[in-house]
Amino acid sequence: MSIIPVTVPTGAIRYNTDSNKMECFNGTKWWEVAVSSPDLNGGARGVVLGGQETPGGTKNVIQYITIATQGNAVDFGDLTTATRDNSAAASNTRGLSMGDANDENFISYITIASTGNAIDFGDLITGRRGSEGCSNQTRAVCAGGNNDSGTHYNVMEYVTIASTGNAVDFGDLTTTKTRTAGAASPTRGVWMGGSPGVTNNIDFITIATTGNAQDFGDVTQGASSGSAVASATRAVCGGASTDQQTYITIASKGNATDFGSMLVARFSYAAMTDSVRGVWGGGDGSPTQFNNIDYFNIETGGTCVDFGDLLALVQQTSGCSNGHGGL
């Protein structure tokens, strides 16, 4: 079945009797049709990985929500060690936690459809805190960050999510960036804002390739320690010490546009999505800490709505899901 008739139209579907798989023709070759679904007990699952609990210190707790519903978070299991100021990324089966506030380089993973403790995945090239991840179904890319000595990084590293092993160099961001907000479509990864200097620039990459990031445009105001979610077409950046939300159209380039407001002004919070809803969880409003979870519709925007509560007041945390726009 390797011969491609010249009359096959783009988008044609066939059943491959050799592999027992459905395939779709993209105009050049046949691709296997994915038949897995992120739906678990009524919807895609969002996961919050570690964080700084107030009071209580740095935690290894993993908690989860079902994004299409509303309600409080539920215990999932534990990370391999107490972790905060980490980054996260996911396929529709695995979630990754990368880096740590103690300049650690470890990567761990969970199987999102189950509950249980995280497992060692491998190591980043550069141990750091405040990095930010994005991913499609195949690759996770970890970008930026800093260490406790005050060094900020522009490095990007990637792993293949379905395997285990150490990260590989991807390229460089346009500037050094710590605590930027990352999200992805199946094709592009974007990082919005960051520090030092509280920058407002947006970088983008093509996830399937390697190379340096390119300039995309600017967010409406400089922001650090914000978070982002995305559908396949649109990325929304939450506020950092403000309640402002902004969005971009990922396939184009240009400046961000105002998109409504969060329920509370905060930073260092988790972000999760099923490509329909965007969800924010926890965060720091110094001196106030939050366990709030709130959500909005990615296509329409507007003021967020209360979703429920996390298990504790937690900040410097990260989130991922098995239904985000990069899948």
**In this structure, what DSSP letter does residue 314 have?**
E
pLDDT at 64: 98
Angle subtended at Cα 184 by Cα 269 and Cα 24, rounded to the nearest 5 degrees: 140
Residue 198: which H helix or E strand, with range?
A: none
Examine residue 55 and say whether the peptide bond preceding it is cis (omega within 30 degrees of 0). Answer: yes
Cβ proximity of 318 and 270 under 8 Å? yes
Q: Distance between CA 66 and CA 274 in Å, rounded?
A: 9
The type of residue at 201 is N
216 belongs to a structural domain: yes
Could you give the CA distance from residue 214 to residue 199 in angstroms, rounded to a whole number? Answer: 15
Strands 234-237 and 74-78: unpaired
- Displacement of CA 81 from its chain's centroid (Å): 20
- Cα gap 82→323, rounded to integer Å: 26
CATH of the domain at 150: 2.120.10.80
What average pLDDT does the chain have?
A: 91
What is the Cα–Cα distance from 24 to 19, expressed in whole angstroms? 14
Task: State pLDDT tens for residues 123-182.
Answer: 999 999 999 999 999 999 999 999 988 899 999 999 999 999 999 999 999 999 999 999
Contact present, 35 and 29 (Cβ < 8 Å) = no
- Tell me the mean pLDDT in the region 287-291: 93
| Of 29-38, 105-114, 190-199, minimum mean pLDDT range | 29-38
Please report whether residue 222 resides in a domain: yes
> What's the half-sphere exposure (Cβ side, CA atoms, 13 Å) at 216?
29
Which pLDDT tens digit goes with each residue over 31-78? 665 544 445 556 899 999 999 998 889 999 999 999 999 999 999 999
217 pairs with which residues across the strands?
202
Q: How many residues does the chain have?
A: 327
Residue predicted with more confidence, 145 or 221:
145
Share of the chain above pLDDT 90, in %: 78
Residues spanned by the domain of 79: 45-321
Residue burial 46-85, b: 16+ Cβ < 10 Å; e: rest: bbbbbbbbbeeebbbbbbbbbbbeeeebeebbbbbbbbbb
Q: Given CA atoms 181, 190, 275, 318 in this order, what sign does their dihedral have?
A: negative
Residue 11 lies in a domain: no
State pTM to two decimals: 0.86
Q: How far apart are CA 225 and CA 215, in angstroms?
A: 20
Q: Which of 16-30, 206-220, 235-249 has the lowest mean pLDDT?
A: 16-30
- Contact between 264 and 226 under an 8 Å Cβ cutoff? The reply is no
**Res 46: pLDDT:** 98
Does some domain include residue 263?
yes
Distance CA(22)–CA(29), nearest Å, equals 13
In a domain, 19, yes or no: no
Q: Which residue has the higher pLDDT, 202 or 42?
A: 202
Q: Is residue 36 assigned to a domain?
A: no
CB 190 within 8 A of CB 216: yes
Residue 262 lies in a domain: yes
Number of domains in the chain: 1
In a domain, 257, yes or no: yes
Q: Average the pLDDT over 4-19 and give the result.
A: 64
